[in-house]
A and B are shown apart, each in its own frame.
Chain A
Amino acid sequence: MAEAFEWVAARLERETELGRLEARGTVRLALKQAGLEARSVSAWQMQVVLRRVLPEELRRRGVADAGRLCEQLAAGLPAGEPDGEEERPATPESIFRRLGG
């Protein structure tokens, strides 16, 4: 799994009453809604998911003040470059970007 996924899932487990499986499942669902995968999500992508998708998922599970929590996690997430794919394994996106010249 990607570092960003593990980091957010672990913090959610610690900061909320969600269990390990529920926390990881909730993050996975939020990622899926945004077209991302737990094994390849970057820090930058995770920050967007934290601000735009995950708050609603947490509210549905009864997590209080989900927006503020997600904003804290987004701010605390070790920052990544918006296009820092060079250091990560090649993805279909990075390969097709190259193919376009």
Chain B
Amino acid sequence: MDPIRAAGVVSFVAVSFLVGLRLLGLARRRGEMPELAVGLALLLGGGLGYLLMFASARLGEDPGVRGALTSLGALCLNLGAICLWYFTWRVFRPDRAWAGILVAVAAAAAMSSYLHEALTTGFAFRQFRGFWYWSGFGARSLCYGWAAFESLNYYVLMRRRMRHGLADPLLANRFLLWALAAAGAFLIFLVIFVNLLGASGGNPTAGVFDNDAALLISALGLVASLALWLAFFPPPAWRRRFRPGALASAGRGARG
């Protein structure tokens, strides 16, 4: 993979890793579940999981090492996805029974897919087909789609509140950025999905490492990592954009 194609994936992994660590630090200090869940989701799903899968594809010449790296990477991706399902449920739909059932089904799909692969191929080689693979793929991808939908929905509410001075604009923007980051990750899965459908059955490089899809995935990874960074590490210049004075002058500029 050339540097341009790798840039987005590398930045997404790095930012997920850093933001995940920071949120886990917050969780340790405050003892709150949402911080723990989203911190683990980013660290395991976006950070460690992809890092290990990348390492297994590029560095694991020995089948045993490759299998071990893939197994560990897949475990991280599945656990990260379960944490994200849990986070979205507890933050946006804590009192909805259907959301709890959805999370339980997704968690069961992710872990049964992982166990099936562990017990059949032992991760010695990947099979990008079959019920068990696709159920796990669905659980790992749809968690980002749901997170994006709920966060975007809440951003719309926050925009209405802002009109009446009932919401902090920087906080409202955080919902938008989180939605963008999750949507970027979801679209990466979508590209991989389309790519896998078109790939020949035994192609071991199909998906994220296919050069045809890598450029698009890289661009989406860049967008997602930038949104993630601005959402949880907003630099002072970004924060200043949302101060009341800055918003008022921007509004005057737009009217003038």
Complex interface: chain B residues within 8 A of A96 (CB): 91, 171, 174-175, 178
Complex: how many Å from CA A97 to CA B38? 14
State which residues 71-101 of A face B: CB under 8 Å. Answer: 89-90, 92-93, 95-101
Complex interface: chain B residues within 8 A of A39 (CB): 95
Which of A3-11, A44-52, A58-66 forms part of the interface with chain B? A44-52
Complex interface: chain A residues within 8 A of B165 (CB): 48
A16 at the binding interface (Cβ < 8 Å): no
Complex: how many Å from CA A49 to CA B129? 54
Contact B30 A35 (CB under 8 A): no
Complex interface: chain B residues within 8 A of A97 (CB): 168, 171
Q: A93-B158, A101-B232 are known contacts. Are A34 and B166 too (CB-CB below 8 A)?
A: yes
How far is the CB of A94 from the nearest CB of chain B, in Å? 10
Interface residues on A, range: 20 to 34
How far is the CB of B20 from the nearest CB of chain A, in Å? 12
B125 at the binding interface (Cβ < 8 Å): no
Complex: how many Å from CA A51 to CA B235? 36
B167 at the binding interface (Cβ < 8 Å): yes
Q: A95-B91, A96-B178, A99-B38 are known contacts. Are A36 and B26 too (CB-CB below 8 A)?
A: no
Contact B158 A100 (CB under 8 A): no
Contact A53 B164 (CB under 8 A): yes
Q: A99-B35, A99-B38 are known contacts. Are A52 and B30 too (CB-CB below 8 A)?
A: no
Complex interface: chain A residues within 8 A of B161 (CB): 34-36
How far is the CB of B149 from the nearest CB of chain A, in Å? 13
B160 at the binding interface (Cβ < 8 Å): yes
Q: A34-B161, A99-B23, A100-B232 are known contacts. Are A92 and B166 too (CB-CB below 8 A)?
A: no
Contact B92 A92 (CB under 8 A): yes
Contact B38 A35 (CB under 8 A): no
Complex interface: chain B residues within 8 A of A45 (CB): 166
B34 at the binding interface (Cβ < 8 Å): yes
Q: A92-B92, A95-B91, A99-B35 are known contacts. Are A35 and B171 too (CB-CB below 8 A)?
A: no
Contact A100 B171 (CB under 8 A): yes
How far is the CB of A89 from the nearest CB of chain B, in Å? 8
* Mask: chain B, 14-31; 1 = CB below 8 Å from A; 0 = not: 000000001100100010
- For this complex, 12 residue pairs linking A to B, each with C-beta atoms less than 8 Å apart, are A35-B161, A36-B166, A52-B164, A90-B34, A90-B94, A92-B91, A93-B171, A95-B34, A98-B30, A98-B35, A99-B26, A99-B34
